[in-house]
Amino acid sequence: MKAAILPRFGAPLSVEDVPEPTIGTGEALVDVVAAPVLSYATEVFSGARRYLLPTPVVPGCGAIGRVRAVGPDSTRLRPGDWVFCDPTVRSRDGAATPDITLQGWSARGEGGQKLQRYFRDGTFAERVRVPTENAAPIGAIDPVEAGRWCAINTLLVAYGGLLAMDFRPGETLLVSGATGNFGSATVALALAMGARCVVAPGRNRAVLDSLRTRFGERIVPVELSGDSAADTEAMRRAAPGPIDAVQDFLPPTVSATVARAAIITLRQGGRAVLMGGVGMLGGEDLALPYPWIMRSLITVRGQWMYDAAAVPGMVGLIRSGLLDLEQWAVTEFPLAEVNDAVEHAAAEAGPFKLTALKP
């Protein structure tokens, strides 16, 4: 079969013939119909993000495809089923605290790297081998819509944070980093889940205005000034009432002061979920005030990716019509043009834009 290979960090990908994956018990083989090309793939492939990804490797994080074969222990999955290939692979011998690897992308800790040595190659290929539980059924779709369904890859990360904070209909959410891919996905999801209001701070006025145009009065854009105290006050004033929750998706290049200014807006008993990259490239710590957290009964938690149970919930939001995938504009590339796809994803990064490979 054909696959794109990253021979080493800093080198372009090459499309080569590689051996067909073989499966055993607890595994499924999936024909990749569309694979998302993440906007920061150039940073991963250059080594700038310092991801744990052994090379040479077939990269690629998630896909939409059709089951080709299943292992002998599969009881419901059938060849021909349309599935989302969930890249979040969890160890099966640590139910309470599983080791995790992002197949074809990165790993977390020593256990995650051990898992990665087996589930190593990703979805920039004609076929991919995944754990059976990671071939998540999405129901029948028109093949031409496979690229748009790749939005689920980003949406699930945002959904994982909203589930972690137990976000409820009628609440007001502040999305820190609302003008990025994950932040804008959080905006769409929160509205689909019944948010009273979503406060969307950022510095890109054009993107903020486009969010308001797209979603209407339940979006409240706030243009940040860079003055932390003033920005906190502006975000509080913009909300129609107390801010119940904050979801942070700020990238590694942003100062911790920006994240702190957003979190401090929370009402008494408010919740904050941290899912971004603040501090990954160095810089100051988040340094939230201890007395404020204690006296205001604030919950701050981290969330990496999402639980497996999030996938059927996400599919349900899409199938019900509450979340419209037509919001996403998709640009597709054949596997032979994988390097062009990676460049395009970086150049055209932004809310509601998708780049997809069609192996």
Q: What is the pLDDT of residue 96?
A: 81
C-alpha to C-alpha distance for 41 and 249, rounded to whole angstroms? 17
Q: What is the pLDDT of residue 282?
A: 83
Residue for token pair 């702190």: 260
CA 9 to chain centre: 22
Higher pLDDT, 304 or 332: 332
Q: Is the pLDDT assigned to residue 97 strictly greater than 90?
A: no
CA 95 to chain centre: 23
**Tokens standing for 7?**
């021979």
CB of 3 within 8 A of CB of 125?
yes
Residue for token pair 């905006």: 187
Q: What is the pLDDT of residue 108?
A: 85
Is residue 283 very low, low, confident or very high in pLDDT (cuts 50, 70, 90)?
A: confident
CB of 12 within 8 A of CB of 339?
yes
CATH class of the domain at 157-302: alpha beta
Q: Is the pLDDT assigned to residue 155 strictly greater than 90?
A: yes
Give the rounded percent of residues in the chain with a pLDDT score beyond 90.
91
Residue for token pair 């497996």: 308
Q: What is the pLDDT of residue 172?
A: 98
CB of 213 within 8 A of CB of 280?
no
Per-residue pLDDT of 43-80, as tens digits, reads: 999 998 889 999 999 999 999 999 999 999 999 999 99
C-alpha to C-alpha distance for 329 and 325, rounded to whole angstroms? 9
**Tokens standing for 354?**
């998708």
Q: Which amino acid is at 72?
A: P
Q: Is the pLDDT assigned to residue 267 strictly greater than 80?
A: yes
Q: Is the pLDDT assigned to residue 95 strictly greater than 80?
A: no
Q: Work out the mean pLDDT of the chain and round it to a whole number.
A: 95
**Tokens standing for 306?**
């999402």
Per-residue pLDDT of 311-321, as tens digits, reads: 999 999 999 99
Residues 174-186, mean pLDDT to the nearest whole number = 94
Q: Is the pLDDT assigned to residue 235 strictly greater than 80?
A: yes
CB of 190 within 8 A of CB of 261?
no
Alpha helices (H) in the chain, listed in sequence order:
41-46, 109-116, 146-149, 151-164, 181-192, 205-215, 228-238, 256-263, 290-295, 310-319, 338-347
Is residue 16 very low, low, confident or very high in pLDDT (cuts 50, 70, 90)?
A: very high
Q: Is the pLDDT assigned to residue 94 strictly greater than 80?
A: no
Beta carbons within 8 Å of 290's beta carbon, 6+ residues apart: none
Give CA separation, 283 vs 225, 259, 296, in Å. 20, 13, 27
Write down the domain spans for the chain.
2-149+328-358, 157-302
Q: Which residues pair with 16 in a beta bridge?
A: 3
C-alpha to C-alpha distance for 74 and 61, rounded to whole angstroms? 23
Alpha helices (H) in 40-180, listed in sequence order:
41-46, 109-116, 146-149, 151-164
Burial pattern 172-199, b for ≥16 Cβ within 10 A else e, equals bbbbbbbbbbbbbbbbbbbbbbebbbbb
* CATH fold label, 2-149+328-358: Quinone Oxidoreductase; Chain A, domain 1 (3.90.180)
C-alpha to C-alpha distance for 287 and 51, rounded to whole angstroms? 25
Q: Is the pLDDT assigned to residue 173 strictly greater than 80?
A: yes
Per-residue pLDDT of 247-264, as tens digits, reads: 999 988 899 999 999 999
Burial pattern 228-255, b for ≥16 Cβ within 10 A else e, equals beebbebbbebbeeebbbbbbbbbbebe
